[in-house]
Structure 1
């Protein structure tokens, strides 16, 4: 469970630093123009910088994936919910066999375990993951293609992680509108603080906490925490 004392301290800190305004009419958070502009500029600059830095590594990863499984594509694309419920395709390096989704849904035991474990299979128990895929997931390198999602505006660098239909319906309930009120992110509060180590409903609480307390300084803090998590491998599998 989330430590309420820590959350209270963070809320107090963010209330002091936040540049997010409150809409008195409906009680929702209304982002200031300064916040939205700063966030978008940061997204574009970071995406371009990462694209330059990672261009060669991405080409190498693509070649390795193709060598290990010539029958499948280099990228994995899947529809997720974005801002205001608009659907978009999220991109990742393919870390699983080409028919991974069919394998999962056609195996009742495997699919049940997937649902019960927070829409993922326990570490070491997913037969769909390729050898190179395991490394990509551990290092979060499979997420690199989301640079293109950030550049086209369907995602931000920081925000709640984009989720599947069944997650939105079963895990967020009446908070679905709130969850969809911001752009999904490459990383987020949940992602930076445990990732696979934290399941629902705690994950949903953390995502909603970010939405209620979002600010540019909070975003920078999450980017820093994400860097530390990736370096340490915390919560990744």
Structure 2
């Protein structure tokens, strides 16, 4: 939907917006079915995708930016390493990575989200799914990726990084490489984590090492390929 057809609010907003009304007594049970449908659609579309990597970065990266060019190259290198490429399906860095994946001959996947200020998936997406709920979409990124390659980005990118590193720290995912690309961009964040968060005892020694930092795109893909592969679950506990 575009123009005046774009809703003024999003499905996520309506789900989370509690103004004291009792409407949820009547509407939330039905929302569960819609949420279930999003998971079913995502699982069905991606189940046979094969090895894949999620590439994150800013939707605001212009096409003439050096980071856009690096996004294209990163997508191509991931494709040449045997990975399909999953992005958020939007413009900027996401478009660049999808473009590189297509140029490299891999499946280019876009997992879009309902937002009032973004319209549709970028033209380089081969397999696209639009989600209403962030949590359903985020599950797909982790479930169907061997790891994350992260270019400079804003709140959405940071959200995905910290979601993934939390899942790794707590053992919810295993053998899940996370590579930050852009030494100048990410060093300040890692310094803060090291000198404030870790030094204050808020995370354990070595937790920062879950985040690999580099400027070398080929090295980033190699690191992901070397570290990819989930540990098999305990067969006695299929949950």
**Normalising by structure 2, what TM-score?**
0.24
Q: Which has the higher helix share?
A: 1
User: Does 1 or 2 have the higher relative contact order (CA < 8 Å, sep 6+)?
Assistant: 1
TM-score (norm 1): 0.25
